[in-house]
A and B are shown apart, each in its own frame.
Chain A
Amino acid sequence: MKMKKIMALTMATVMGASLLTACGGSGGTTSTTASTTAAAETTAAATTAAGDAAAETTAAAAESTAEPVTITFWHAMSNAQEVSLTELTDKFNAENGKGITVELVNQGGYSDLQTKLMASAAADTLPDMAQAYNNYFTDYVDKIVPLDDFVKNDFDNWEDIVEGYRIENSEYGFITGVPFNKSTYPFFYNKTMFDRAGITEPPTTWEDLEKDGAILLEKEGVPMLGYDSMCDMLEIFLRQNGADYVDETGALFNTPEGLEAIEFILNLYSKGYARLIGEDAYFSNLMSSEMIGGYVGSCAGVTYIVTDNEGHEFELGVAPIAQGKKNAAYNAGTNLVMFTKDEAKQKAAWEYMKFLTSAESQVKWSIDTGYVPVRTSAYESQEYQDFMAGDTPGAITARAAYGQAPYGYVPSNYFPGANEIRNVVSDTLTVCISEGRTAQETLDELVTAINDVVQ
């Protein structure tokens, strides 16, 4: 009798626990529902294209003995980015002449992609290739296919790839990937509002940030600045003040320069020149409804700013970010990495990687999406130069991105804990700003939080 009750009780709790294990999945999938249809369409498009391609190749390239091969590619591109990626992939599938079919799988946003890759690394079901930041695979770098031999033997001019990206993709001591969708954070601003307030030029120095911030707050009653990523903002200001950020040993900014940079940041917020995102999700939304003068965020986000909202029509301005004692601008965006152990699939994936990073593809990709080309030759191509000379929001953004390209740095985040550090820094900094902590307190809290992660 007693045994039975215990059994029943255990059953009930086991049921509870099993529901819990189901939870992990649903957390990720719920947010991707919006893109499922898009993904379904993509796969549909890809398969039809694949059919055509297969038909063509068997007919045309009879001498090629290569077996038809299909590879899956997990990505996190949506909207205009996904459209462009699909077009490029369709073209590749139709024209590669080697029987290769790439199947695009949309995994939602970056964080969805990151968690799904982690889970499939544990289950040993990784896709053939994926988009990834270095900090995604700190725990499973041994599952990455080293690309050194591919690059050495079969790549069109590795030196043509922008240097920072080459360094980033070699941080683990071997070539982990090739750069694909690269962005930088310029300053987006409401030019109409700036003109009205009498600010003729966007801020170019730290002093300008304070001066113009004060003018805009007084004349327009809104803050001038927002930062999409708090941890990236901290890194930008630290580097501009000649301080370092973090490495595998922990925080590196416990210096007078670091303290000064933090003091400057806190001051921007306490005076009301900058604001936190709070409950409003995206600064591009606040821009669209003219509740902020400008913000610093990814150049690929330009497609999300609406300048012709009813009652809120304004001219969009984009400029390189204001610089400090030193010049620094943040570069973001993922690389393409390979997981497949199958040699034929590795070769196929490499063909596709070469295609996506070719100058021609990069020009189309950058014009379509607002990302910056990863190749110098793509930058210098006539087509891209013509595009940059235009006056579309994309062209203005591209000019600003190009303007700060010389100061661009790629953050180093290949060590264990790099992913967690991003989160704790953003959280700690947000709390310190909202609670009005002093610069020294903020510095101490940040350093402690980072070092706790690394140890």
Chain B
Amino acid sequence: MNRKSYKGYVYLAPVLAIMLVFTAYPLVRAIFMSFCEDYSIINGSYKGINLENYADLFKDKDFRKAITNTITYVIFVVPLSVVISLLIANLLNSHIRFQGLFQTLYFLPYVTSVIAIGVVWRWILHSQYGLLNSILNFFGFESIGWLTDRNYSMASLIIFAVWKSLAFDIMIFLAALQGISPDLYSAARVDATPRWRVFFRITVPAMRPIIAYAFVMGIINSFKVYNEVFSLFNGSAGPSGYNSAITIVFYIYDKFYNNYKYGIAAAGSVVLFLLIMFFTAIQRLPGRIRARKEAAQK
């Protein structure tokens, strides 16, 4: 370590201090709590240090459901949102009329309170008076109990979440699209390249870093989904009585704040931490493999 790097650390010190206090310490503390049997957040007492919390956690069928639900959520919401946003952003970037208006409209969900959006979607998805069911009925399909039938809870949640996360993805994609050199498109036009080919051969490769970013952020945020469930099901994790749309964070919140099971909640958050770490590692793999290949070619 030379003198120069010392200087760098001095510059970083304020942020590092903040992160140590507000991120690293709570993290270590939560990991510690997760091993304390019958931990009390009020006075810090516990019965003993063991794996009791983890045993309870994995015995709880609600937690197992929370894990499968969360993974289902991530698998559907992130790719769907990225793909749809990419298409919409591409359309918005072409020279259509009222471009500004549409850009504003698509951005609205991002600046609206998720609770307010939840109220609107509860009406859209209402089994008897909902807009969605009226449309289904119009085309001759039967009504679906989007919010009352536990088999549809996850589907409703995913539809709602995809719609909600479009706004942010569209915004960053639009910004990235505008950064692509017009020369590339001009060249493609000279060659009379078909539009789909322009999209897949110029637009997508040029946007690879930003798409990767959208995926990483999308996955991290989706693993922590809570607000969407809360607002869509009016404070519970699915149709009343059923926890059919319970997610890991919902489970942790419920255990901590409603059931006063602090240790189990901490254990749940450690499991979530490991899950996010695992998936983040996996998704870095393709990039790393490519980097290695390119290095080998050179």
Contact = CB atoms under 8 A, between A and B. Distances in A.
Interface residues of A, number: 48
A122 interface: yes
Given A9-B281, A27-B253, A278 B239 contact: yes
Contacts of B258: 111, 115, 419-420, 423
A20 B235 contact: no
Given A279-B126, A279-B239, A24 B257 contact: yes
B41 A277 contact: no
B153 to A, nearest CB: 11
A437 to B, nearest CB: 12
Contacts of A405: none
Interface string A105-123: 0000001001100110110
B240 A16 contact: no
Nearest to A28: B257
Contacts of A12: 216, 220, 280
A361 interface: no
A452 to B, nearest CB: 10
Most buried by A among B43, B148, B227, B241: B241
B273 interface: yes
Interface stretch (B3-11, B23-31, B85-93, B188-196): B23-31
Contacts of B259: 417, 419-420, 423
Contacts of A15: 23, 220
Contact of B27 (A14, A122, A140): A14
A24 B273 contact: no
B23 A16 contact: no
A251 B132 CA distance: 43
A428 interface: yes
A12 B236 CA distance: 30
Contact of A13 (B40, B113, B241, B273): B273
B234 A281 contact: yes
Most buried by B among A27, A121, A276, A277: A27
A9 B23 contact: no
B105 interface: no
B224 A20 contact: yes
A448 interface: no
B260 A20 contact: no
Contacts of A267: none
Given A15-B220, A24-B257, A30 B277 contact: no
A24 B221 CA distance: 14
Interface in B123-151: 126-127, 147-148
A441 to B, nearest CB: 15
A277 B227 CA distance: 22
A431 interface: yes
Contacts of B227: 23, 26-27, 30
A430 B241 contact: yes
A279 B122 contact: yes
Interface in B233-264: 234-235, 239-243, 249, 253, 256-260
Interface in A153-186: none
A114 B280 CA distance: 36
Interface residues of B, number: 49
A118 B27 contact: no
A389 B221 CA distance: 58
Nearest to B269: A20
B84 interface: no
A118 B253 contact: no
A201 interface: no
B260 A138 contact: yes
Given A277-B240, A279-B147, A17 B23 contact: yes
A148 interface: no
Contact of B113 (A33, A417, A427, A431): A33
A31 interface: yes
B256 A16 contact: no
A58 to B, nearest CB: 40
A396 to B, nearest CB: 29
A55 to B, nearest CB: 40
Interface in B203-218: 216
B230 A278 contact: no
Interface of A: 9-10, 12-21, 23-24, 26-27, 30-31, 33, 111, 114-115, 118-119, 121-122, 138-140, 142-143, 276-279, 281, 416-417, 419-420, 423, 426-431, 434
22 contacts: A9-B280, A12-B220, A12-B280, A13-B280, A14-B19, A14-B23, A17-B23, A19-B224, A20-B224, A20-B273, A24-B256, A27-B226, A27-B253, A30-B227, A33-B115, A139-B40, A142-B43, A143-B42, A423-B258, A428-B241, A430-B241, A431-B242
